[in-house]
Amino acid sequence: MEYTGPEIFIKENPEIPLVDVRSPSEYRKGHITGAINLPLFTDEERSRIGTLYIQSGRLPAIEKGLEIVGPRLKDMAEKGRSLARKGQLKVYCWRGGMRSEKMSWLFELVGIRCLVLKGGFKAYRNQLLEDFRDLSNLIVLQGPTGSGKTEILSVLSEKGEQAIDLEGLACHKGSAFGHIGMDVQPTSLQFQNDLHAKCLQLNPDRRIWIESESLSIGKVYMPETLWESINHSPIVELAIPKAVRIQRLVREYGKSDIEVLKESTRKIAKKFGHKYVQEVLNYLEEGDLENATSLLLDYYDKSYTFSQKKYKARKPVIVKSNSGDPYINADKLIQKIEEISAVEWQ
Catalytic residues: 93
Residue 230 corresponds to which amino acid?
I
- Under DSSP, the state recorded for 70 is G
Close Cβ partners of 322 (under 8 Å, ≥ 6 residues apart) = 240, 241, 244
Listed residue (309, 136, 332, 167) closest to 234, CA to CA: 136
Close Cβ partners of 75 (under 8 Å, ≥ 6 residues apart) = none
CA distance 91 to 101: 9
CA distance 203 to 299: 38
CA distance 290 to 246: 7
H or E segment at 75? helix 73-83
For 44-67, b/e burial (b = at least 16 CB within 10 A) is ebbebbeebbeeeeeeebeebbee
Q: How far is CA 73 from CA 37, 102, 252, in A?
A: 16, 11, 53
3-state secondary structure of 13: coil
Q: Is 286 exposed, middle or buried (0-12, 13-18, 19+ CB in 10 A)?
A: exposed
